[in-house]
Amino acid sequence: MLPLVLVSRDRKQINTYIRDLLKKNYSKAEIHEYRPDPNNITIDQIREITGIFKYASKIRKVIIIYDFETAKAEAQNAFLKTLEDSSEKAQFILVTGDINSLLPTVLSRCFVNKLTLESTIIGQYDFTLSVSKLMESVTLKKRDKGESLVECDRMIGLFRSRLIHQDLKDTTSFLKLPEIIKEVIRVRQYIEKNNINPQLGLDHLIIFIKTRLL
């Protein structure tokens, strides 16, 4: 499941959104909530979250971390491995009032939802980014190397999530997803090693994905 970052300083708005989200999609899930202890999300709390996945379980889990901007870089870095290794086992929801305090490596692995009055109506987030919306965001401006790597990570996260939750009856789309993921990883490696112009790499991926899915 693609991790979700909720951005809002309105606590009532956040609570309403999460309540409706859980009611619609996770009525039978095991809910774990974490808040700053006392002023920060700590490494000990991150370790506690990691421990939740120590033993196999068929029960769906939702991990909600409030005020995630209070987590220092050390704690956020420690959380990355759990975010990567356990996102298939749980829905992570990171709540923040300051998105700029989150590390790019965390954001690149998440779907970011900046809450507005309208977005508190459940259904605005369906756990998978729209491919068309992703392609549109990539083409909005030229990207440098760092930004291009982040966009590649977003694509990998999106299509990996689609692959996990894809309806097996849709064999055409299902068979194309591994091919797309491999191509994004290949282009990302070229960009990282400076073997290709970052923007040209993204342009190639846009064409590659559109010819296969859109």
* One domain, residues 45 and 14: yes
Last residue of a domain, one of 120, 143, 163: 120
What is the C-alpha separation between 146 and 124, in angstroms, rounded?
Answer: 29
In a domain, 92, yes or no: yes
> How far, rounded to the nearest angstrom, does the alpha carbon of residue 166 sit from its chain's CA centroid?
17
Closest CA to 162 of 184, 183, 177: 177
Q: What's the longest Cα–Cα distance across the chain?
A: 51
pTM: 0.59
202 lies in which domain range?
Answer: 131-213
* One domain, residues 12 and 116: yes
* One domain, residues 197 and 142: yes
* One domain, residues 113 and 135: no
Last residue of a domain, one of 68, 96, 120: 120
Query: How does pLDDT run across 129-183, given as a tens digit for each residue?
Result: 456 666 766 766 677 888 888 788 878 877 876 776 555 455 556 678 889 989 9
The number of domains in the chain is: 2
* One domain, residues 100 and 139: no
* One domain, residues 188 and 89: no
In percent, how much of the chain has pLDDT > 90? 35
DSSP string, 131-157: HHHHHHHHTSS---HHHHHHHHHHHHH
Cβ-contact 88, 58 below 8 angstroms = no
* One domain, residues 31 and 54: yes
Q: Hey, what amino acid is at 94?
A: L
Cβ-contact 65, 94 below 8 angstroms = yes
In a domain, 15, yes or no: yes
31 CB-near residues (< 8 Å, 6+ apart):
22, 61, 62, 64
In a domain, 126, yes or no: no
Query: How does pLDDT run across 80-133, given as a tens digit for each residue?
Result: 988 888 877 899 999 999 988 999 889 888 888 888 654 444 444 443 445 666
Last residue of a domain, one of 68, 86, 120: 120
* One domain, residues 14 and 115: yes
What is the C-alpha separation between 212 and 198, in angstroms, rounded?
Answer: 22
